[in-house]
Structure 1
């Protein structure tokens, strides 16, 4: 009988256009589109910044100084520039504010002599801090000029540059490619599960309870010789399945987006993703999704039973959505790992466990604890739903 109810409600759910869009279309398309858009926009602004001519004023008592010479020698491959010589700072601030100049270097008269005597010179820089891209180019220019001046000093003093750098860092990253992907995608993947798992459950829950109340078909269903708990379980199975499907299609969309748009500078990214998407990985995530979506269904059903209209049910569940997303967001924060404390917190444990599964560093004991806690939370939500579904005042209100 539960299976019959499940089949009937599943057919009705699949006929609902809003459910199909929320469960399949949006999760599959949203991430390739978002990743593609972010990649295109980032590349566009980066290329535009490189092509933009930076107008620079050099204020000095003479145009023939070391700073201007070294600045002019910087290749345009780091960004085109125009250099203007000025003898004073008159009108500079206004020109920079009007963006006719982007940058001005004020060189002290003693700059050349100070450099020849291996002393430090103070160079004032006028710029607009809101132009972040320009500031990056300024830093690059100054770094190049400083390095060339240092080379001159070492040559004059017949010194080895190693004297000012006693340690040469050689970073050797011991992280596997899978762990790198786990930290990049793994931090976002669980958040993705929670969002789309919740949305995937929400619309079927509203339709199967509030919708039936609006259509006056719920009372007819309850008059059939079927125990009320079987009706509840059949409907809950459809709601959970919708949440699992939405989360699974979101996973598919995200990994498809990662493969199409290489946001991670990692050779062999496609092979790493293929290595992550193994049957064991998919089954492991599915095992975590089942109690999570049952929990979502369990907290949604009482609200949808109580609501008198589709609009009211949406209004009630929207704040619940934010409450559910909070622990998912906490799980994304840095330095919060799955341990014996976080494994006891519902939703947070699923988020952190998923991250560890993607990275391949999951502790089996912590995984079992997380799963058990989520099963307990799901069971409590089912019992709560059953009690609310068993009250005639809630159903017939």
Structure 2
């Protein structure tokens, strides 16, 4: 078994492409993704703040103060032919043709509406499919500010002082008392992302070498030679499995080490308050727990990819089978972010989902170590069962020589 392990490791170390996916990619993926996410977020925010949108307003005479606020707002520019529009339909047509970004239709003057006990219903016309929904929010803010000033004036005219207006307009004020600290709140959000990075990388660390160990040997014609050696087939499978487990675990080690390193760099040198707060209490023990949970995941995925590679007729067919496996790994991770999905005795028995939930709880600082050991034990049992199935699979001539 160990001779097979040494043989496979030696062949693996000669393959530069596989080494890149096992070693280089996990080391680069975290700084690249973190830097890219920060850059794109800051760039998108800056561009959204700076962009000026063309608008047209119908019946601006109904609310001259509001029209003036909109005119001098840095995010909006009134088109010169704004008077050409006279209805909501004309504004819709102009938005669809790209003449304006947003149109505002005022149905009545709000002052007269207050006197008659009628609400003014203004329409904001824009294309929400263009991801510019913040336009509506900005116009809504301006309208609310203008409406508040009208309400204040109307109440003053009726003899209601400013002191009483606040209590009259908002008699109840809710105070939010959150029992969760900042780390728990931010860990809930960041803890969702980390399993999407870690678990697929563990799969990648096993899948690329596995394709060569099974389907690759079939194509090269070396599998028959290997079967003629005085080594039991169970030992052949175990040797190949140990090689895949080593590469997968190596990927997990490098991934967790890379994550801890770049998080430490971000906390020490970069002014990223979100990362500082979320990972302030995450130390060596927490990273060790994450690594421990990835070990049975690596064993399960190593058994699966080895079985797939043994079954495949060719290298290309094995690659085609790996794509659906990647999707099968993503779906349990997606299940972990569903509403009301928490780590308990039931979810601790669901493969992959349990690990994703546990990683999130570790980042939040609310992990129950009983569930960690329950997850570890259940996943090890599953990995053992899959390994036995893989050995049985390898013993069938109809599978080896399809």
By the TM > 0.5 criterion, same fold? yes
State the partner residue of 1:191: 196
Q: 1:81 aligns with which of 57, 77, 86?
A: 77
Q: 3-state SS of the aligned residue for 2:149?
A: helix
Shift in Å, 1:378: 0.4
State the partner residue of 1:362: 367
State the partner residue of 1:336: 341
State the partner residue of 2:44: 45
Q: Deviations over 1:125-167 (max 9, x none)?
A: 4444444242232222222222222332343332321222122
Hey, what's the Cα distance between the residues in 2 that align with 1:73 and 1:256? 49
Determine whether 1:168 maps to 2:173: yes
Structure 1 alignment gaps of length 5 or more = none
Determine whether 1:17 maps to 2:22: no
Larger CA deviation: 296-305 vs 109-118: 109-118
Residue pair 2:336, 2:353 contacting (<8 A) in 1 also: yes
Hey, what's the Cα distance between the residues in 2 that align with 1:92 and 1:180? 43
Determine whether 1:320 maps to 2:325: yes
Shift in Å, 1:313: 1.3
Hey, what's the Cα distance between the residues in 2 that align with 1:175 and 1:368? 25
Q: 3-state SS of the aligned residue for 1:185?
A: helix
Question: Structure 1 residues 253 and 72 mapped into 2: Cα distance closer, same or farther (>3 Å)?
Answer: farther
State the partner residue of 2:111: 112
Q: 1:275 aligns with which of 281, 285, 295?
A: 281
Residue pair 2:183, 2:280 contacting (<8 A) in 1 also: no
Hey, what's the Cα distance between the residues in 2 that align with 1:315 and 1:273? 38
> Aligned pairs, how many?
390
Hey, what's the Cα distance between the residues in 1 that align with 2:396 and 2:99? 73
Q: Deviations over 1:100-124 (max 9, x none)?
A: 3333433345543334677533334
Shift in Å, 1:232: 2.2
Structure 2 alignment gaps of length 5 or more = none
Question: Structure 1 residues 43 and 182 mapped into 2: Cα distance closer, same or farther (>3 Å)?
Answer: closer
Shift in Å, 1:392: 4.2
Larger CA deviation: 70-79 vs 384-393: 70-79
Q: TM-score, normalised by structure 2?
A: 0.84
Shift in Å, 1:201: 0.9
Hey, what's the Cα distance between the residues in 2 that align with 1:307 and 1:382? 18
Q: 1:72 aligns with which of 63, 68, 74?
A: 68
Residue pair 2:266, 2:276 contacting (<8 A) in 1 also: no
Question: Structure 1 residues 140 and 284 mapped into 2: Cα distance closer, same or farther (>3 Å)?
Answer: same
Residue pair 1:118, 1:153 contacting (<8 A) in 2 also: no
State the partner residue of 1:132: 133
Larger CA deviation: 156-165 vs 94-103: 94-103
Hey, what's the Cα distance between the residues in 1 that align with 2:277 and 2:119? 52
Quick one: higher RCO (CA 8 Å, sep 6+), 1 or 2? 1
Shift in Å, 1:255: 6.1
Hey, what's the Cα distance between the residues in 2 that align with 1:129 and 1:104? 13
Larger CA deviation: 149-158 vs 377-386: 149-158
Q: TM-score, normalised by structure 1?
A: 0.84
